[in-house]
Amino acid sequence: MKCPYCGNPDTQVMETRETENLDATRRRRECIKCERRFTTYEKADLDEIIVVKKGGRKEKFDRRKILNGLLSACEKRVSLVKLEEVVDEIEAELRRKEVAEVESSVIGKIVMRKLKSLDKIAYIRFASVYQDFESLASFKEELEKLEPKK
């Protein structure tokens, strides 16, 4: 592994351990030349998931897009660590489907389901953009679904 600081190809592994959810190996490395330390992650190279957008356009699945949407919806409400776990869960759910292509609407529904159980306010924030409410009445209807039945 090449040192990201000085470019030297000689580094040594100081420590190795599995990540919390066991989907990657974390390695702490040290450069032989400049003696600086850095961390690398080793992850399985899985087949790409192709996302089919509303208009039929296709693109590679991008975890960062989901994370950015979650960050916007959950601003100041949910920790980044928890949101990264949610993205991991979403990606794992998509991979379990064992299909090469998935419609963006399917991903949106999974995100909505996860947010609904995580944080109701974040769910409404996300839903207001994702579902593109056309009126105050449709927005109010969605809010009423969240309130406990009396």
87-136 pLDDT, tens digit per residue, is: 989 998 998 888 889 999 999 999 999 999 999 999 998 888 877 777 88
Of 57-71, 74-88, 127-141, where does mean pLDDT reach its minimum? 127-141
DSSP for 9-65, please give it.
Answer: S-EEEEEEEE-TTSSEEEEEEEETTT--EEEEEEE--PPPPEEE-TTS-EEE--HHH
Report pLDDT for 145.
84
Instruction: Tell me how far apart the alpha carbons of residues 134 and 131 are, in angstroms, rounded to a whole number.
Output: 9
Report pLDDT for 58.
96
Report pLDDT for 141.
84
Q: Quick check: 133 and 142 in contact, CB under 8 A?
A: yes
Q: What is the pLDDT of residues 44-57, one digit of tens each?
A: 766 789 999 989 99
